[in-house]
Amino acid sequence: MSIFDIAGVNPTLVSRLMVELDDVSTIFDRQLASDFPPVNTLSVHVGRYRGKMLRPTLVLLSGMAVDESVVDSSHYHRTIGAVTEMIHMATLVHDDVLDESSVRRGGATVNALHGNEMAVMLGDYLISNAFHLCSTIGDPNLNLRLGEITNTLCEGEIVQLHNRENVDLDEDMYLTIVTNKTASLIGGCCELGARLAGADLKIQKALHEYGINLGVAFQITDDLLDLTADQQELGKTVGRDLDMGKLTLPLIRALRDGDDQRQIAALVRDRCHAQLQERLQDDGWFESARETAMDRVASARRWIGDLPDNAATTMLHLLADAVVQRRF
Amino acid sequence: MSIFDIAGVNPTLVSRLMVELDDVSTIFDRQLASDFPPVNTLSVHVGRYRGKMLRPTLVLLSGMAVDESVVDSSHYHRTIGAVTEMIHMATLVHDDVLDESSVRRGGATVNALHGNEMAVMLGDYLISNAFHLCSTIGDPNLNLRLGEITNTLCEGEIVQLHNRENVDLDEDMYLTIVTNKTASLIGGCCELGARLAGADLKIQKALHEYGINLGVAFQITDDLLDLTADQQELGKTVGRDLDMGKLTLPLIRALRDGDDQRQIAALVRDRCHAQLQERLQDDGWFESARETAMDRVASARRWIGDLPDNAATTMLHLLADAVVQRRF
């Protein structure tokens, strides 16, 4: 299932995006190309992780929503698209080390194949190249904003790690973590796409908030899939959050408001996946989390209510809805 | 033993440097300060790693060598000093994960104390903040150059990892690895210090080459210490290179030109530290590596032969000599 199969998306826009995203991939690959074969072997592996390219798509769409014609001629949008995808790949590679995951997009992870050490260094190489690529645009404010975003992202990851095995983690802190580690980059994509298209600060902020809400909805849904999905279908290791002592929204709510909190805490402690899954389903906690994600989607859509009425804006609306409905 | 205890260094210059480096530390700490206590706990730990501050010292000295008066008023030199130290700290934190080291500067490593996951994320936080801090200067060329340097650094680390357990590693590849992973940043410090002081391209290149040669000499010496030093005295885990299958100069030469190469290969394979140490000492391979480091020091000094004759230039010469003589 791809972003471009979403019902109602303008086919002409999809064709344009496909061409643009091909360019993004070319920029991405060219940036990572090295004189050293072992480095290229790793980069090829990362290429396989590249799936839906949600982040570059948001950079491009946000630019087009502001000014339909701008992205065709904008090397900057494509460059920043590649930068954000590189940052995202770095987080995937390092997350797989953190989570000891062995499967991603239906294939072996870098850590599983080349060891944790190689995965650590590959992530660093991706981060470094993302900043280098961003610098080629020559606008110091872009670098500054990218640095702010990645600082926030790392803070989110550190706070999340710190709260592993913390059964008292509350919903506010969970949302702070999710906002920082996931939504900050997605919000940044939308904001930078708008900025590069010449949007004023008000519109940049609107698109930033759209992205933040979309990102939170996306992560809540991702966390839900880790509890509910079939591993084969999802193409990555599932049940990892619980194994790693990472509490997510349905569990946080069940532990705070559930009928038998002590029993649920015991199931968490003993990593009883199947029983927990059944319990959370029966007690409506999956549905409760899904509703929160849908509320965030509604917020995201409200933030872009005043954008020009064009195909890109329509796709941003459709994309927001799709985030909570499908498994991409 | 500190850089500032080197015999012959101008005491007025040392006082100036001390004040400047205090400012560098302040910038460093302020940059890493977070709203999240778990992040600050980690940053405090990194503060303890900060020892000789060789890299900021080289940024400052290179600036002063070009124009004695410039650094006093240059917030940029201090900022770039903090940036380079942050990159260096990130490599230490991630190296300790790679090498599974438990001791650094006489204390527990981040990975030993908070786990590998936290060390991975802390390293990322440091890299991200280094780029963010660099961006505050507002000169896109600085960001571009920093990105090039860190790309090279990561490539060096990846190629080194790739060559673990490779008993056929040759001297050229060893020197390429050392140049990329260590000397590129040290050369960058000298070059950027000169550039920020308004040096022309020829002088920037001279200082860059000084730093590259100094860095290679430094790493050869560091590798030697890992084979020869006392752990308590050095304040970090020793013998790690051999444990990790990382061949360094004395061993590479003994395996290529030694009397009984097969016997040495067996000692490497079986990790026989004491016997290897004795063998390399007796056969003169430690001395041979030391001579190569000293040749690099001589090259470094030749590159700065035409710099203005002032206290900072003198200190750069003394520092080059000191790199191979002492244990800082």
Q: Return the closest-CA partner of residue A214 out of A295, A156, A312, A305.
A: A295
- Of the ranges A2-6, A132-136, B27-31, B196-200, which one carries the lowest mean pLDDT score? A2-6
Residue A327 has pLDDT above 80, yes or no: no
Mean pLDDT of chain B: 92
| Cβ-defined contact of A159 to B36 (cutoff 8 Å) | yes
3-state secondary structure of B90: helix
Indicate which of A31, A132, A163 best probes the interface with B, i.e. most B CBs within 10 Å of its own CB: A132
pLDDT tens for B165-190 read: 899 999 999 999 999 999 999 999 99
Residue B328 has pLDDT above 70, yes or no: no
Beta bridge partners of B108: B103
The tokens for A68 are 């339909």
Q: Are A315 and A9 in contact (CB under 8 A)?
A: yes
Domain ranges of chain B: 3-325
Residue A48 has pLDDT above 60, yes or no: yes
**pLDDT-derived band of residue B107, with 50, 70 and 90 as boundaries?**
confident
Q: Are B310 and B16 in contact (CB under 8 A)?
A: no
Indicate which of A100, A131, A185 best probes the interface with B, i.e. most B CBs within 10 Å of its own CB: A131
What integer pLDDT is reported at residue A95 of this predicted model?
87
Residue A275 has pLDDT above 60, yes or no: yes
Is A185 near chain B, with CB under 8 Å?
no
Is A140 near chain B, with CB under 8 Å?
yes
Average pLDDT for A259-275: 90
- Of the ranges A150-159, A284-293, B41-50, B106-115, which one carries the lowest mean pLDDT score? B106-115
pLDDT tens for A106-159 read: 788 888 888 888 999 999 999 999 999 999 999 999 999 999 999 999 999 999
State whether CATH 1.10.760.10 applies to domain B3-325.
no
DSSP secondary structure code for residue B183 in this structure:
I
Nearest 5°: the CA angle B313, B315, B321 is 115
Q: How many helices (H) and strands (E) does chain B have?
A: 17, 2
Q: Residue B25 belongs to what H/E stretch?
A: helix B11-32
- Rg over CA atoms, chain B: 20
Chain B, 208 to 237: residues with Cβ < 8 Å from chain A are none
**Quick count: other Cβ atoms within 10 Å of Cβ A176?**
17
Closest partner residue to A140 (CB to CB) among B135, B148, B159 is B135
Residue B231 has pLDDT above 70, yes or no: no
C-alpha to C-alpha distance for A311 and B250, rounded to whole angstroms: 65
**pLDDT-derived band of residue A71, with 50, 70 and 90 as boundaries?**
low
Is B136 near chain A, with CB under 8 Å?
yes
DSSP secondary structure code for residue B73 in this structure:
G
Residue A274 has pLDDT above 60, yes or no: yes
What integer pLDDT is reported at residue B20 of this predicted model?
94
Closest partner residue to A97 (CB to CB) among B90, B120, B134 is B120
Average pLDDT for A235-256: 87
Q: Return the closest-CA partner of residue B82 out of B42, B135, B29.
A: B29
Residue of A nearest to B137 (CA): A140
Q: What are phi and psi of B111, to 5 degrees?
A: -65, -35
Q: What are phi and psi of B280, to 5 degrees?
A: -65, -35
Average pLDDT for B4-32: 92
Is B123 near chain A, with CB under 8 Å?
yes
Collect all residues of chain B within an 8 Å Cβ-Cβ radius of residue A153: 128
Q: Residue A104 belongs to what H/E stretch?
A: strand A103-104
Question: Residues of chain A with pLDDT > 70: what percent?
Answer: 95
| Cβ-defined contact of B150 to A138 (cutoff 8 Å) | no
Q: Return the closest-CA partner of residue A303 out of A201, A207, A204.
A: A207
C-alpha to C-alpha distance for A205 and A201, rounded to whole angstroms: 6
**Chain B nearest CA to A140, separation (Å):** 5
Collect all residues of chain B within an 8 Å Cβ-Cβ radius of residue A42: 158
pTM of the model: 0.94
C-alpha to C-alpha distance for A318 and B193, rounded to whole angstroms: 51
Q: Are A77 and A66 in contact (CB under 8 A)?
A: no
Average pLDDT for A91-99: 87
What integer pLDDT is reported at residue A74 of this predicted model?
84
Average pLDDT for B114-135: 94
Instruction: Tell me the residue ranges of DSSP E strands in B42-165.
Output: 103-104, 107-108
**Chain B nearest CA to A106, separation (Å):** 24
Is A122 near chain B, with CB under 8 Å?
yes
Residue A24 has pLDDT above 60, yes or no: yes
Residue A15 has pLDDT above 90, yes or no: yes
Average pLDDT for A94-100: 82
What integer pLDDT is reported at residue A212 of this predicted model?
98
- Rg over CA atoms, chain A: 20
Q: Which residue has the higher pLDDT, A272 or A81?
A: A81
Average pLDDT for A255-282: 91
Closest partner residue to B139 (CB to CB) among A128, A140, A151 is A140
Residue B76 has pLDDT above 80, yes or no: yes
Residue A322 has pLDDT above 90, yes or no: yes
**pLDDT-derived band of residue A259, with 50, 70 and 90 as boundaries?**
confident
C-alpha to C-alpha distance for B89 and B81, rounded to whole angstroms: 12
Query: CB-side exposure of B81: number of CA atoms within 13 Å?
Result: 29
What integer pLDDT is reported at residue A33 of this predicted model?
97
Beta bridge partners of A104: A107
Q: Return the closest-CA partner of residue B323 out of B283, B287, B295, B284.
A: B295
Average pLDDT for A269-287: 92
Average pLDDT for A164-172: 94
**Quick count: other Cβ atoms within 10 Å of Cβ A302?**
13
The tokens for A246 are 């990472």
- Of the ranges A60-74, A93-107, A279-293, B299-313, which one carries the lowest mean pLDDT score? A93-107
Distance of CA B158 to the CA centre of its chain: 17
Residue A50 has pLDDT above 70, yes or no: yes
Residue B130 has pLDDT above 60, yes or no: yes
Average pLDDT for B95-106: 78
| Cβ-defined contact of A155 to B94 (cutoff 8 Å) | no
Q: What are phi and psi of A309, to 5 degrees?
A: -85, 90
The tokens for A128 are 């470094």
What integer pLDDT is reported at residue A163 of this predicted model?
96
What integer pLDDT is reported at residue B45 of this predicted model?
86
pLDDT tens for A205-232 read: 999 999 999 999 999 999 999 998 776 6
What integer pLDDT is reported at residue A326 of this predicted model?
65
Mean pLDDT of chain A: 92
Average pLDDT for A72-92: 93
What integer pLDDT is reported at residue A232 of this predicted model?
67
Residue B217 has pLDDT above 60, yes or no: yes
Residue of A nearest to B42 (CA): A158
C-alpha to C-alpha distance for B187 and A136, rounded to whole angstroms: 21
C-alpha to C-alpha distance for B185 and B215, rounded to whole angstroms: 8
Q: Are B50 and B152 in contact (CB under 8 A)?
A: no
Average pLDDT for B148-156: 98
Average pLDDT for B21-27: 96
